[in-house]
Structure 1
Amino acid sequence: MSDARTTWHKVADLDELPEDRVRTVVADGKWICLTHVDGRYGALDNHCPHQGGPLGEGTIENGLLRCPWHGWDYCPLTGASPAGFDERVPSYPVEVRDDGIYVGIEPEPAPSETVSDVMARTLCAWGVRHVFGMVGHSNLGLADALRRRTEAGELEYVAVRHEGAAAFAASAYGKLTGRPAACLTIAGPGATNLLTGLWDAKVDRAPVLALTGQVQTQVFGPGAFQEIDLSSAFGAVARFSHTVLPSSRHGELMSLACKHALVERDVAHLIFPDDVQDLEAPTGATIGSPAGRIGDVEITPPPAALAAATERLRAAKRPLIVLGHGARGRTAGVVELAERLGACVVTTFKGKGLIGDDHPLAGGVLGRSGTPIASWFMNECDLICVFGASFSNHTGITTHKPIVQVDYDRSQLARFHAVDVPVWGEIDVTARALAAQLERDPGANDRVDQRTELAERWALWRAEKARRRADDRGRGVNSAAVFEALGRLCDPRAIVAVDVGNNTYSFGRYFECRDNAVLMSGYLGSIGFGYPAAMGAWAATRTDDPAVAGRQVLCVTGDGGFGQYLAEVTTAVRHGMNITHVLLNNSELGKISKEQASGEWPVWQTDLVNPDFAAYVTSCGGLGIRVTDVADLDAALERALAHDGPATVEVLTDVELV
């Protein structure tokens, strides 16, 4: 007999399931094993009570339903085990009607809140708005809790094709916003696929939350299927890594993970054993939140350090200001200080875009990916004032000049060598304090206002870039032309995610930023970062953060980098991501070829066999355009930029003209 509240769902036509056969059907969201034996139909829960095997993929043998995984038998009509066994599969009422086979589903009580629900709600309370990941067999309970938060409008879930892309996307999101996104994976290989992207986040100081499934607690240790020691695997990359246990304070555990990611600007990791995820939450379990848990970040520098730095700036006649990635989002006070001093401002490559190249005091990027303008002003200066940069060898900040270094992270001060004045303080606060001190006593009255020299140097460099754009060896478009066109046609506030290789060096050298934000794999330098990073940037633009909301998203890669994650085009199509991708295709790992040649090694194994990338993107549902002639470049970029969805402009480029 069925309950009066039973709802009936047609699951098959009368002639659809032959005698002595089974199949899986779905009714009211439930997976059901439908059987047909001796002229009668049965409907059983699809999960074998032994280990969850899919009974709808089983067989009828000797009048019994046999589980396809381990051969356990059940009555195909009632779900009872043969005599001598106690297991039973839940069954559903069945009606054979004139138009087909119907299964009755009785209403279930509202589900109890699970451990995963408590942790997902806490995650949202801490302001996490995006999860990138893959749903799989060892994270289903957690995934279901995230689904409920997504359906409630508190989260947006981005289903990727490779977990590495999830980690890169979350890393880029953290770099851009200063807030963590999460990445979700299964145990074993899904979890280990995150590691490269998480290391990228760690070394570039981006907050990320990693949520990994794990095997059931009862099989910890012996080496169950897909079991690895995740605590050890993530021990070096994660500032915070803990396993969620039945006895954990679940809201507090998620709060601590979120806090570590935010405050330490690092990776936080939680391990969710399969059997813990859907446990009923303990009575009285509370949701964590950031209220009262985060201190003020406006660190004022110690008076002595501030006074010493001020004195150096007062005495300098040609100071140079260097902006690094650590100053992202905190540059207004630094620009105010530069304007008071008339000082040139250059950036590290990771800091590209922190001051627009159209600012009269901007000198472009310093170092290997930079401009001759920045190098000239570094050579001519008598003091270097560094904000949020770590003196990597790629940047090449000279150590032969007096240096004032300002950073919010004490460990970054004088990291590689001694500096004259290390200043611990929040960057914007410290810069404004220095400007205020100089307003009261500006110091040297013969200080050079460097605006005129900067205009002259920019004119020289732009003339050189124009000459390079005219270069044509008949072997593809040159990079100077690509980035001049992109800079001219894109939105001045576009977010640009770049990859690794010659394409990135050329971007740093030729693309003139205005109010752009640039994302890259800085210290790790991981090829493949670009396209997943653009996905993370796109997700960030869908928040209500005024610094990023609604901004255009661009992606710049080479063929080597894009080849590592090209399946993510289908992710972009699925989610309607408005990403304009510029792909420089020279059929070679060009940067490596140059390194081999310059080191007097033979150029070896750097050539690539590529598809027609534009046709591939089109086949995925995006817009793909291939450019072989510079005359077609503007029209292709304009069409791609106007396209509502993922678009790729594949430019066949000359490997030597970078």
Structure 2
Amino acid sequence: MTADNLEWINVGHADDLPEGRVKTVTARDVSLCLSHFEGQWAAMDNHCPHQGGPLGEGSIEQGVEGKCWIRCPWHGWDFDPLTGAPPGGHKDTGQKTYPVEIRDDEVFIGLEPEPERARTVTDAMTETMINWGVRSVFGMVGHSNLGLADSIRIAARDGKLSYYGIRHEGAAAFAASAYGKLTGQPAACITIAGPGATNLLTGMWDAKVDRAPVLALTGQVQTQVFGPGAFQDIDLKSAFDAVSRFSQTVLSTSKHTELMSLACKNAIVERDVAHLIFPDDVQTQPSKAKPRGPKGRLGDTAIKPSDADVEAAAEMINAAKRPIIIMGHGAVHVRDAVIAFAEKLGAPVLTTFKAKGLIADTHPNAAGVLGRSGTPIASWFVATSDLVITLGTSFSNHTGIEPSKRIIQVDFERMQLGKFHRVTLPVWGEIGEFCKIMAQTAEKSPDAEDQISELAERWAIWRTEKQSRLAEEKDNGIHSFAVFDALTKLCPADAIIAVDVGNNTYSFGRYFETCGQRVLMSGYLGSIGFGLPAAIGAWAATRDLEAFEGRKVVSISGDGGFGQYAMEFTTAVKYGMDITHILLNNGQLGKISKEQQAGHWPVWETQLSNPSFAAFARLCGGHGTRVTETEALEKAISEALDHKGPSLVEIMTDPELV
């Protein structure tokens, strides 16, 4: 090909490379070793054919009879700068060379016109993933996932999905888990082999135990070096077996789009983690496979309870004088049907902590959260009830549903029914279907008590008591009630709130009154550090799905939780994420301090050494403010919520006042 037919790419100024030196340059997407020696310029493929060593990081060496050689920095292989041939002229180990021209002291390298990009295995699998509804990918690009990453890059460039590069793979896992909890649809997270993949595991366990659909896509070493102990080669299949419902390695001979379809289907149907392992060499192999999708592969999820169970449930409900409903996170997508059923019965609706916000605390039937993070209102109504209708709950010890009560338990998973102890009536069926049928079949007993008026009275008592707790403030920091009282007044009704773990979360459950917000948390795993990464996942959902479009995202943590993934604040800045983080800083792992005290242990190693988190937020490029007085709370929170972009309010709180 003549010089006229080449594309000439400027790779820098001649003064950037002194005589007798080499450097790595990039022309288009081609990595090249540029050399300058004896008044000559030359360029060759940057990757040594031995093990891919970067020749541009090597050196020019004088050989026999003064001949110059480019020497690889890894293992000392030599190449002629002008021909690319090694000593002895063995062409099969030589390097491709490229023409170089100096024009007005600028260095140009001639490349052949870029060929049309060949369609790859990962292109076909990415297209299939998109067809199944995946719209967001979180992760970190690295050496063993570059082929997969390039397929995702193409899809992102074409507007088919969004990619968010995080600072730690654990944050990608939590973001994907939160996305699945919020939407019921899977997001994906990608990592390299070895440590990148293992960094996902905590977040994958969070998704698994809270039944959130997630796709984990991990790179892997080349298939030819599986097993002997190559760099970053670990048994990823075994590592993910316990945490995933589906885990498979993508091989050259695999049915690639079918593997991705099965991964997506398992994530969606089983509400679980699906894992695919991508060996480096398989990712870029050519593929003609047609992408697949969910058409014809997903059935209706409406499971109606049996006639006998409907009749028995109606009989129990019709006879109850003080029926209550306990709504768990399993009812997240049918909460309107649950509330309509409660309104007909005049029954209080209590929620588990994971289900906080599924009924607004401002609703006449709302009784707040039951359990350790709950309110005395909920405790009163469960204690005085004569029938408990539990919908989508797991009877965790954190919630503390009294098993001696007459209980109707409804769940679409048969193994959840009576899982820990017997219940009066276990009903297999989808919760929404049960509520619709009961709203037509069951009747409020003529002897039923007026629990709705009683609810209003109990709320008034609790609100008065909460306000009285402000008198407990001394000089050790702000009361946590003051924080959540201010946030209750200011937080948008349609906000999505991601909470961490610790005393800050207990206080949130007890004091914050919802009026329509959705709450996300690390439920059964209870993992510290969940809050901010979860907010990143929620923010991505507001960009993907119309149901969440334009909704404000708020995250809440203590100083211990924020410190786990503090650098993800720069991720929020990078992508302009409209997230407000409320940080309760008490200078310690407060929940652990209290547990040590309660167990008559000395308080040990729970104190924290913190920077100014507000200043940190500003240094990262976001909005940051520090609050030390209760009177300044509302102004600081209001300004942070109004800020278009990442903001952080650091509130100095008293560790004893939770």
Same fold (TM over 0.5): yes
Instruction: Note if 1:512 corresponds to 2:513.
Output: yes
Aligned match for 2:372, one of 355, 362, 368: 368
Separation in 2, partners of 1:615, 1:321? 46
Kept in 2, the 8 Å contact 1:402–1:419? The answer is: yes
Separation in 2, partners of 1:370, 1:613? 29
Alignment-mate amino acid for residue 647 of structure 2:
A
Aligned residues: 652
Kept in 2, the 8 Å contact 1:95–1:103? The answer is: yes
Q: Which residue of 1 aligns with 2:264?
A: 258
| Root mean square deviation of aligned Cα | 1.1
**Local SS of the residue matching 2:5:** coil
**Local SS of the residue matching 1:64:** strand
Separation in 2, partners of 1:319, 1:385? 7
Superposed CA deviations along residues 197-233 of structure 1, whole A, max 9, x for unmatched, are 0000000000000000111110111111111100110
Instruction: List runs of 5+ in structure 1 lacking aligned partners.
Output: none
Q: Which residue of 2 aligns with 1:213?
A: 219
Instruction: Note if 1:235 corresponds to 2:276.
Output: no
Alignment-mate amino acid for residue 534 of structure 1:
A
Q: Which residue of 1 aligns with 2:526?
A: 525
Q: Which residue of 2 aligns with 1:445?
A: 446
Superposed CA deviations along residues 20-46 of structure 1, whole A, max 9, x for unmatched, are 211111222322211112211111122
Q: CA deviation at 1:607?
A: 0.8
Q: How does 1:190-229 map to 2 (within 5 A)?
A: 190-229=196-235
**Local SS of the residue matching 2:190:** strand
Q: CA deviation at 1:443?
A: 5.7
Q: How does 1:37-116 map to 2 (within 5 A)?
A: 37-62=37-62, 63-83=68-88, 85=90, 86-116=92-122
Q: Which residue of 2 aligns with 1:354?
A: 358
Alignment-mate amino acid for residue 274 of structure 1:
D
Q: Which residue of 2 aligns with 1:378?
A: 382
Kept in 1, the 8 Å contact 2:267–2:274? The answer is: yes
Alignment-mate amino acid for residue 300 of structure 1:
K
**Local SS of the residue matching 1:386:** strand
Kept in 2, the 8 Å contact 1:2–1:93? The answer is: no
Q: CA deviation at 1:4?
A: 3.5
Q: How does 1:121-160 map to 2 (within 5 A)?
A: 121-160=127-166
Q: Which residue of 1 aligns with 2:395?
A: 391
Alignment-mate amino acid for residue 97 of structure 2:
S
Separation in 2, partners of 1:140, 1:520? 32
Alignment-mate amino acid for residue 321 of structure 1:
I
Alignment-mate amino acid for residue 135 of structure 2:
R
Alignment-mate amino acid for residue 602 of structure 2:
P
Between 9-18 and 272-281, the greater mean CA deviation after superposition: 9-18
Q: How does 1:272-311 map to 2 (within 5 A)?
A: 272-281=278-287, 283=288, 285-311=289-315
Q: CA deviation at 1:65?
A: 0.7
Separation in 1, partners of 2:647, 2:545? 25
Q: Which residue of 2 aligns with 1:187?
A: 193
Separation in 1, partners of 2:134, 2:299? 18
Separation in 1, partners of 2:114, 2:497? 49
Separation in 2, partners of 1:583, 1:263? 36
Separation in 2, partners of 1:100, 1:443? 86
Separation in 1, partners of 2:69, 2:198? 42
**Local SS of the residue matching 2:281:** helix
Separation in 1, partners of 2:425, 2:295? 36
Separation in 2, partners of 1:110, 1:127? 28
Alignment-mate amino acid for residue 476 of structure 1:
G
Q: CA deviation at 1:414?
A: 1.0
Q: How does 1:310-349 map to 2 (within 5 A)?
A: 310-349=314-353
Separation in 2, partners of 1:480, 1:408? 38
Kept in 1, the 8 Å contact 2:119–2:286? The answer is: yes
**Local SS of the residue matching 1:23:** strand
Kept in 2, the 8 Å contact 1:627–1:636? The answer is: yes
Kept in 2, the 8 Å contact 1:132–1:158? The answer is: yes
Separation in 2, partners of 1:569, 1:588? 21
Q: Which residue of 2 aligns with 1:650?
A: 650
Separation in 2, partners of 1:393, 1:327? 19
Kept in 2, the 8 Å contact 1:42–1:78? The answer is: no
Q: CA deviation at 1:452?
A: 0.3
Q: CA deviation at 1:75?
A: 1.1
Q: CA deviation at 1:449?
A: 2.8
TM-score, normalised on structure 1?
A: 0.98
Kept in 1, the 8 Å contact 2:346–2:444? The answer is: no
Identity value in percent: 62
Alignment-mate amino acid for residue 174 of structure 2:
F
Alignment-mate amino acid for residue 20 of structure 1:
G
Between 400-409 and 299-308, the greater mean CA deviation after superposition: 299-308
Q: CA deviation at 1:84?
A: 5.1
Separation in 1, partners of 2:59, 2:239? 41
Separation in 1, partners of 2:132, 2:2? 45
Separation in 2, partners of 1:443, 1:345? 15
Separation in 2, partners of 1:177, 1:97? 56
Q: Which residue of 2 aligns with 1:604?
A: 604
Q: How does 1:577-616 map to 2 (within 5 A)?
A: 577-616=577-616
Kept in 2, the 8 Å contact 1:132–1:183? The answer is: yes
Q: CA deviation at 1:250?
A: 0.5
Q: CA deviation at 1:5?
A: 3.1
Separation in 2, partners of 1:13, 1:574? 30
Kept in 2, the 8 Å contact 1:215–1:226? The answer is: yes
Separation in 2, partners of 1:582, 1:14? 52
Superposed CA deviations along residues 378-426 of structure 1, whole A, max 9, x for unmatched, are 0110000000000000000001110001112222111111111111111
